[in-house]
Amino acid sequence: MSDTTTNKEQGSEKKTLVLALVAGMSCNAILSWMTVSDVLFSIFPWIALILSVQSLYQEYLRKPLAEDVPLVGIACFFVGAFGHSAFLKAQHPEAGGNFFAIIVSLVLMTWIAKKMGYIGRN
């Protein structure tokens, strides 16, 4: 019985982290639309942001979060934001370099993998 409970908790944690990633990407897409002249307006980042934040809130109300999930969730948010920024700057080189965004994304993804137990597993 404890295995199914553990699997449900891990699934819920992964859902929270993916929603935080989507929220970060959506926020960066909206910010890029406002600041970069080459990026055109799209309603889809607004829809994705609203739905991901609503789902995060519903998940928060449904059950309390584990100890490390809020901090890892913030890191996933920033991975989404910096990852989208690097992707956008690769598409539009005149918007600036993407070296910093790639390095921050990689460092945060490594830290997340270590916290989630994918790195350093015995």
Q: How far apart are CA 114 and CA 62, in angstroms?
A: 27
pLDDT, tens digit, 9 for 90 and up, residues 72-107: 999 999 999 999 999 999 998 888 889 999 999 999
DSSP secondary structure of 56-84: HHHHHHHS---SSHHHHHHHHHHHHHHHH
Q: For 83-95, give one letter per residue: b (16+ CB within 10 A) or e.
A: bbbbbbbeeeeeb
DSSP 38: T
Element (H, E) at 40: none
User: pTM to 2 decimals?
Assistant: 0.86
pLDDT (tens digit, 9 = 90+) per residue, 28-38?
A: 999 999 988 88
